[in-house]
Amino acid sequence: MPEKKIRVLIAKPGLDGHDRGAKVICRALRDAGMEVIYTGLRRTPEEIVSAAIQEDADLIGLSILSGAHPILFPRIIKLLKEKGAEDIPVIAGGIIPEKDIGRMKKAGIQEIFLPGTSTRDIVQWILGHIEKGQKKR
């Protein structure tokens, strides 16, 4: 059987168009042997959750720089639960003040990568935490 690759959905919620980080992460994960699906800009929580389910993602990576994360992140987690997809882990990066990190993690975001994080560290984190096809569904 061919080895199954880790499938990552990189998503951009929020209204900002700053996609440099998201695109760099997409390329770095692809170069690390993962399958990467990028949503493009300005996706609503509903669109992101339904894309993750449809694409059978092993992981969702959110990138946001607009400051709307306190509203949008918990909403994405809530929708995942409602759709029975809470087994898809969610990580995030972008402009997220340190004081918000605890709150976001409590809401269900597994890890938050701040500006300056090496792409290698993100790849390592994913390899250490995500098993291919680990989802129960």
Q: Which is nearer to another protein, 22 or 77 (CB)?
A: 22
Tokens matching residue 119: 């792409």
Query: What whole-number distance in Å separates Cα of residue 89 and Cα of residue 3?
Result: 21
Rounded to a whole number of angstroms, the distance between the first and last alpha carbons of the chain is 20
Query: What whole-number distance in Å separates Cα of residue 98 and Cα of residue 135?
Result: 30
**CB of 29: closest distance to another protein in angstroms?**
10
Q: Which is nearer to another protein, 111 or 135 (CB)?
A: 111
State the residues that interact with another protein by CB under 8 A: 10, 14-20, 22-24, 26-28, 36, 38-42, 44, 66-72, 95, 97-99, 114-116, 118-120
Q: Which is nearer to another protein, 33 or 97 (CB)?
A: 97
Q: Which residues contact 118 (CB under 8 A, 6 or more apart)?
A: none
Burial of 101 (0-12, 13-18, 19+ CB in 10 A): middle
**CB of 137: closest distance to another protein in angstroms?**
26
Q: Which is nearer to another protein, 74 or 85 (CB)?
A: 74
**CB of 52: closest distance to another protein in angstroms?**
15
Tokens matching residue 79: 């929708």
**CB of 71: closest distance to another protein in angstroms?**
3
